[in-house]
């Protein structure tokens, strides 16, 4: 029999960050269990944005923490995470977006997040492909950037291993062992592992696994995707992340070209019970052609990106993100079962929030509280839900569709 102080189910970026933070803060024994390969799900397909400028106030301290942790990891491991600190340029062309952006600028100052209003010349350097005639207001967040999410996940894992964390890949948890409403451990095909603390951080699988112990986790797998262009000197050599909420799109530099993410009006959502066991080679589709999705966005995107119709797109990458109906993460203890914790529903911001999420879970478990925690993260805020109900799934898809439009 194997005993650990903490068992983490899920070896993606959130599980890896939690393992790192617990092991850095204590000498407790930790086991990370992953049903497939580590970082093989959404953590390997993300656009890797780290955004401190946010419409969700509760997310800002977590994203700030992530930037801090990236530097910390580099110092501890003696190798770079390759964080491209390009800054992010957020644009507004409608009155609603201008008001939203002005509010973001005010909020950023409250959280000591650097922000400035760029000149036309600055914008041209950051995004020379941009049609500035559409812009009514702009804000630049210089500390934002992007990275390879797979690489960051492995940095968390490496640092955690150096701290003594143990890992098992390609081994699924099959049963949660509970005695009188207290966590005792988990069962697997390779035997039982015992622990008083169990953290569920399995990404899109979390709601399915939690349903086996009748714990409703209000998340659903929703498609995220982006396209890559071929290199083009017209995109500039020193570009920034560019966020265009008016057309629900964003770009970032990628090997001399652009990575373009587009949010659909009706996002594809999936029933976790019907997903394949390994998502590494799974392309989430409901039968539509992904190039048609991009083509249908051309008329809107061309307002900001006039060259889009002649752009040479070379690749398409998609994956599943875990979404909640209100677009906020689910984080913290499950009140009904002592020793059970959850980190789920990152709503496509897992990379950006990973450092903060790991810090919060470790502090709640080890100290009983976290200054970064927000009541908007509470796992039970939705009451009893059926995470496989069609109406519920559609609410989560709508949260994805409205992601860039919400103010919190």
Both 389 and 246 in one domain: the answer is no
In terms of Cβ atoms closer than 10 Å to its own Cβ (0-12, 13-18, 19+), residue 27 is: exposed
Q: What is the pLDDT of residues 19-55, one digit of tens each?
A: 999 999 999 999 999 998 888 777 777 999 999 988 8
Percent of the chain's residues with pLDDT above 90: 80
Both 170 and 215 in one domain: the answer is yes
Return the pLDDT at 280.
67
In terms of Cβ atoms closer than 10 Å to its own Cβ (0-12, 13-18, 19+), residue 289 is: exposed
Name, in order, each residue with C-beta under 8 angstroms of 263's C-beta and a sequence gap of 6 or more.
Answer: 248, 249, 400, 401, 403, 404
Average pLDDT, the chain: 92
Range of the domain at 165: 2-66+149-219+325-405
Both 229 and 274 in one domain: the answer is yes
Residue with tokens 């955690």: 160
Measured CA to CA, the distance from residue 402 to residue 408 in angstroms comes to 12
* Furthest CA-CA distance within the chain: 67
Average confidence (pLDDT) over 76-90: 96
In terms of Cβ atoms closer than 10 Å to its own Cβ (0-12, 13-18, 19+), residue 79 is: exposed
Both 35 and 154 in one domain: the answer is yes
Measured CA to CA, the distance from residue 380 to residue 336 in angstroms comes to 10
Helix (H, G, I), strand (E, B) or coil at 42: helix
Helix (H, G, I), strand (E, B) or coil at 139: strand
Return the pLDDT at 281.
66
Both 250 and 286 in one domain: the answer is yes
Q: Of 263, 295, 320, which residue sits at a domain end?
A: 320
- The pLDDT-based confidence of 279 (bands split at 50, 70, 90) is confident
Evaluate if residue 336 carries a pLDDT over 90: yes
Q: Contact 160/16 with Cβ under 8 angstroms?
A: yes
Could you tell me how far CA 379 lies from the centroid of its own chain? Answer: 17
Measured CA to CA, the distance from residue 243 to residue 250 in angstroms comes to 4
Q: What is the pLDDT of residues 305-335, one digit of tens each?
A: 999 989 999 999 888 999 999 999 999 999 9
79 domain-assigned: no
73 domain-assigned: no
Give the other-Cβ count within 10 Å of 84's Cβ. Answer: 17
Evaluate if residue 408 carries a pLDDT over 50: no
Evaluate if residue 404 carries a pLDDT over 50: no
Q: pTM of the full predicted structure?
A: 0.95
Both 311 and 375 in one domain: the answer is no
Q: What total number of domains does the chain contain? A: 2
Token pair for residue 348? Answer: 């496509």
268 domain-assigned: yes
Both 112 and 229 in one domain: the answer is yes
Q: What is the pLDDT of residues 224-269, one digit of tens each?
A: 889 999 999 989 877 999 999 999 999 999 999 999 999 877 788 9
316: CATH: 3.30.9.10
Both 225 and 310 in one domain: the answer is yes
- The pLDDT-based confidence of 288 (bands split at 50, 70, 90) is low
Both 165 and 296 in one domain: the answer is no
How long a stretch of residues is the chain?
A: 408
């Amino acid at each position: 029999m194997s005993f650990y102080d903490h068992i983490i189910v899920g070896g993606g970026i959130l599980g890896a960050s939690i393992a790192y933070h617990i092991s850095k803060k204590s000498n407790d024994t930790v086991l990370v269990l992953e049903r497939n390969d580590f970082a093989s799900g959404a953590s390997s397909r993300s656009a890797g944005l780290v955004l401190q400028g946010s419409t969700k106030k509760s997310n800002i301290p977590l994203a700030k923490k992530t930037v801090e942790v990236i530097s910390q990891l580099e110092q501890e491991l003696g190798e770079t995470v390759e964080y491209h600190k390009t800054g992010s340029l957020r644009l507004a062309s409608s009155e609603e977006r201008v008001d939203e952006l002005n509010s973001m600028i005010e909020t950023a100052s409250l959280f000591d997040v650097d922000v400035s209003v760029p000149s036309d010349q600055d914008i041209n350097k950051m995004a020379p492909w941009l049609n500035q005639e559409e812009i009514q207001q702009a804000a630049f967040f210089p500390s934002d950037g992007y990275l390879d999410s797979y690489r960051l996940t492995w940095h968390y894992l490496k640092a955690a291993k150096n701290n003594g964390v143990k890992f098992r890949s390609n081994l699924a948890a099959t049963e949660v062992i509970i005695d009188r409403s207290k966590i005792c451990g988990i069962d697997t095909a390779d035997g039982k592992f015992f622990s008083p603390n169990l953290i569920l951080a399995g990404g899109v699988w979390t709601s399915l696994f939690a349903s086996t112990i009748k714990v409703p986790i209000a998340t659903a797998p929703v498609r995220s995707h982006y396209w890559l262009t071929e290199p083009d000197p017209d995109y500039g050599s020193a570009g920034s992340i560019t966020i265009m909420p008016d057309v629900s799109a964003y770009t970032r530099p990628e090997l001399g070209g652009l990575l373009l993410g587009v949010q659909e009006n009706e996002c594809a959502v999936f029933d976790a019970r019907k997903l394949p066991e390994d998502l590494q080679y799974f392309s989430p589709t409901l039968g539509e052609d992904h190039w048609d999705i991009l083509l249908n966005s051309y008329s809107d995107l061309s307002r900001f990106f006039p060259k889009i119709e002649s752009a040479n797109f070379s690749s398409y990458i998609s994956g599943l993100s875990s979404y909640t109906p209100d677009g906020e993460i689910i984080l913290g203890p499950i009140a009904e079962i002592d020793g059970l914790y959850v980190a789920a529903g990152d709503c496509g911001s897992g990379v950006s929030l990973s450092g903060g999420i790991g810090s919060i879970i470790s502090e709640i478990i080890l100290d009983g509280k976290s200054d970064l925690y927000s009541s908007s993260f509470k796992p039970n805020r939705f009451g009893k839900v059926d995470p496989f109900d069609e109406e519920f799934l559609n609410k989560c898809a709508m949260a994805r569709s409205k992601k860039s439009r919400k103010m919190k």
